[in-house]
Amino acid sequence: MAYSTDLRKIKKESRIIFFGASSKGGQRANRKKIGVRLFHIPSGIKARSIEERSQVQNLERAVERLQKKLKKLNEPRKKRIPTKPGKASKIRKMEWKKKRARGKKLRQKPEIF
């Protein structure tokens, strides 16, 4: 499903939550709710911002992050092409197994006739 990356539509479809955040600004930042958390309801994606001292600037940053996440979500996924191990990797694997087996064999108690 393709999600709209239009700013107005994102703000309509998202739930905006403001929260107190410790960041630049010291006591002022701790006293005011400058942190912004966005929850895009149709896609379930979350974005937040607490970097700036201003709630408005944090809102802009959070919307930009949400927009980037939605654009990435809208991109078509690459089709996976199944591959098989090559001849050289098979040989390396068998050599490793033989070496490992020899080491384990040395740990066993010797057979007494």
pLDDT of 10-36, one tens digit each? 888 899 999 887 666 666 656 778 889
Number of domains making up the chain? 1
* Cα(99)–Cα(101) distance, integer angstroms: 5
57 domain residue, yes or no: yes
Tell me, letter by letter, the H, E, C secondary structure of 3-71. Answer: CCCCHHHHHHHEEEEEECCCCCCCHHHHHCCCEEEEEECCCCEEEEECCCCCHHHHHHHHHHHHHHHHH
Supply the pLDDT for residue 23: 63
pLDDT at 113: 72
Amino acid at 28: R
pLDDT tens figures, 34-72: 889 999 999 999 999 988 888 899 999 999 999 999 999
Lowest mean pLDDT among 3-12, 28-37, 75-84, 100-109: 28-37
Q: Does 61 reside within a domain?
A: yes
Give domain status of residue 30, yes or no: yes
Return the CATH number at 38.
Answer: 3.30.160.20
Partners of 47 in the beta sheet?
38
- The answer as to whether 81 is a domain residue is no
